[in-house]
Chains A and B, each alone.
Chain A
Amino acid sequence: MDSTNARRFGSGLVLVLLLTVPFLMLYLGKAFWLDIFTRLVILAIAASSLSLLLSVAGLPSFGHAAYLGLGAYAVGIPVYFATYGGADWLASYNGWWHLVLTISVCGLFALVTGAISLRTRGVHFIMITMAFSQMIFYLLVSLEEFGGDDGLSVDLRSEFLGLDKRFGFNIEEPWIFYLLCYGVLLVVLFIVSRLRHSHFGRVLAAAKQNETRVRALGVNPYGYRLFAFVIAGIIGGVAGFLYANFSYFVSPGMVEWTRSGELMFMIILGGASSIFGPVVGAACFVLLEHVLSRITLFWHLPFGLLLLGVVLFGRGGVIGLLKRERDT
């Protein structure tokens, strides 16, 4: 089996497992696994969007959790107003409206902050992206009306008018919601893969390797990077939109800088070189977190050691490890 086929087989296996295991568990009466897998798939979407910046364009954005938070509040705030009254222009249970809000708010935020951040390089880029996400964090904390620190309960999941009556598409039903998330993940992976292999992706990859040379060839990578920044932000927002619907709850905690760190961890854990790396990484992250936190109260310790180990010794992540074993 050559490496392309092996990769295809591996990717197919991941997708099949994600589709079958939760339903198998549901069948076996362990319904909570569906919740774990839903969280896994949503985080995989977020990590995939970040990998567009981190792995493809070589832009270590340290503030990606901001988009999850914005996407989540784009569900939480309209639902809050729809439940308790006020702000009629915003209030709605309509999922399409939430999605429009998510995309426009995240797109705009990414456009503005990206335009500023991309003027900087290296460490400054890491820190300025983090600073912008901290702004969102403190902004959400200071919104007393929406619970401030404590966050906001989302009483009902988004309603997708037009789909729910005709096709019985009601995402209050956990397995339908899981299928929705799974579908979104497929679309996101498709988009990321197409972008990666397009002219656009190649410019980004070239600018990552040698920016001077790309400029000398008459291409200014700034616009390409900004576009990647906006796309990644919007997809991250969609992940937040799903997360709010999943957990019936939004809070500024989603935007803490440690969350951004965890997303980066997932990418490195899975392997940055592959499109499926973030998915594998998110899977390892969520499953490990679940298993370890059941065994011990101190599950952050093995987690930290693992993170340290992966960075110090395991270049290429889980996928890299598998590849190396096959090579020898």
Chain B
Amino acid sequence: MDWTLVLTQALNGLQLGILLFLLCAGLTLTFGIMDLINLSHASFYMIGAFLCAGATLHFDSFLVGVLIGLAGTAVLAFIVEKSIISKLYKRDHLDQLLATFGLILIADTGVHLVWGPAGMAIPLPDVLQGQTSVGSLVVPTYRLVIIGTGFLIAIGLYWLVNKTRTGMLIRAGASNRQMLNTLGVNVQVLFSAVFIIGAVLAGLGGLLIAPITEASIGMGNDIIITAFVVIIIGGIGSIKGAFVAAMLIGFIDTFGRAFLDTIFALFMSVDVAETAAPAVSAILVYVLMAIILVWRPQGLFPPKLR
């Protein structure tokens, strides 16, 4: 087997895993703490990318673009949380699903109105455009930036959730919301904070990937579904679970697409393998989720309950 290829694919898997983790961190917390299904998380992913693209082109600086993208997403998340999301916490899941689905429609059209129907490419500064050699492997520098940022965020979140007072409240909220409320914690503020942090992380994910794939309308609508699979597998409300499951899904998806036909060819004819492999690799993630849900209905790392 070609080891360079395996390593390249491993980096791709890592990158997908990181992106998924950035989306899932916020999703799993809003889900675990507020008991909120938030499909519109996908919209923050998209809006982060578009804000960054717009600002990068306007100010001719990727760094400014990133900062404006993150700040803009935060402001928008604040407004949306105050005006709409906060009314949904007490509703049943179906209402939340439909209302946030409505938000997706609104956000997609809003972006269409502001930036037009076409996608937007984000030009990278020269520093990030080159290649870096790691040992015998040559990889685009920017991919390393994505992976590095993701790991920094993961460590930061770990510190925030496990070592700070806010994190203690977040963990308490994921375990038992009512108790937290009864103990006199201002849950409204906590909810807003968690929602905004989650939205900003989603926006970060969107603007990090946009220079590679370009920002496009509905770019979040596919990956949000995979993100839900990740948090279900990882256990709702668990950052650790989200990280492990995101990496798992990232690798399984990437390796499935890259190597399944080779593996299948070991025990069936090449023709059959080449037809079957794309189909199987596309649904691999969902099969995994179904198996895990049957085996452990609460996911791999459910928060400790009550």
Contacts and interface: CB of A to CB of B under 8 A. Distances in A.
B98 A268 contact: yes
Contact of A265 (B37, B98, B290): B98
Interface string B84-107: 100110010111011101111110
B229 A127 contact: yes
B147 interface: no
A312 B87 contact: yes
Interface residues of A, number: 41
A231 to B, nearest CB: 20
A41 to B, nearest CB: 23
A127 B228 contact: yes
Given A124-B297, A128-B293, A307-B105, A54 B282 contact: no
A307 B283 contact: no
B289 interface: yes
Interface in B243-288: 275, 278-279, 282-283, 286-287
Contacts of A303: 102, 105
Contacts of A306: 102
Contacts of A143: 279
Interface in A119-141: 119-120, 122-124, 126-128, 130-132, 134-135, 138-139, 141
Interface stretch (B46-54, B109-117, B149-157): B109-117
B127 interface: no
Contact of B286 (A135, A141, A298): A135
A308 B31 contact: no
A131 B229 contact: yes
Contact of B283 (A62, A124, A138, A310): A138
A311 B98 contact: yes
B282 A141 contact: yes
Contacts of A141: 282
B294 interface: yes
Q: Which one of B98, B279, B293 has the greatest number of beta carbons of chain A within 10 Å?
A: B98
A258 B95 CA distance: 15
A158 to B, nearest CB: 27
Contacts of B275: 144
Q: Which one of B93, B94, B102, B293 has the greatest number of beta carbons of chain A within 10 Å?
A: B102
A307 B286 contact: no
Interface in A257-287: 257-258, 261, 264-265, 268
B242 interface: no
Contacts of A268: 94, 98
Interface in A45-89: 54, 60, 62
Interface of B is mostly: helix
A142 interface: yes
B101 A307 contact: yes
A311 B286 contact: no
B286 A132 contact: yes
Contacts of A29: none
A295 interface: no
A28 interface: no
Q: Which one of A123, A305, A306 has the greatest number of beta carbons of chain B within 10 Å?
A: A123
B61 interface: no
A261 B232 CA distance: 19
Interface in A292-319: 298, 300-301, 303-308, 310-312
A134 B289 CA distance: 12
B12 interface: no
Interface residues of B, number: 41
Contacts of A108: none
A126 B97 contact: yes
A116 interface: yes
Interface in A130-168: 130-132, 134-135, 138-139, 141-144
A60 B93 contact: yes
Contact of A298 (B112, B236, B290, B297): B112
A310 B279 CA distance: 39
Nearest to A134: B286
B160 interface: no
A149 to B, nearest CB: 12
Q: Which one of B37, B93, B101, B229 has the greatest number of beta carbons of chain A within 10 Å?
A: B101
B148 to A, nearest CB: 31
Given A116-B290, A128-B293, A308 B278 contact: no
Contacts of B37: 123, 126
B221 interface: yes
Contact of B109 (A116, A123, A134, A298): A298
Given A134-B225, A301-B106, A311 B297 contact: no
Given A131-B286, A142-B278, 16 more contacts: A123-B232, A126-B37, A132-B286, A134-B283, A138-B282, A138-B283, A139-B282, A141-B282, A142-B279, A258-B221, A261-B98, A298-B109, A301-B113, A304-B109, A308-B103, A312-B88
21 contacts: A60-B93, A116-B293, A120-B297, A123-B31, A128-B232, A134-B286, A135-B287, A141-B282, A142-B279, A144-B275, A258-B101, A298-B113, A300-B109, A301-B109, A301-B113, A304-B105, A308-B99, A308-B106, A311-B98, A311-B102, A312-B88
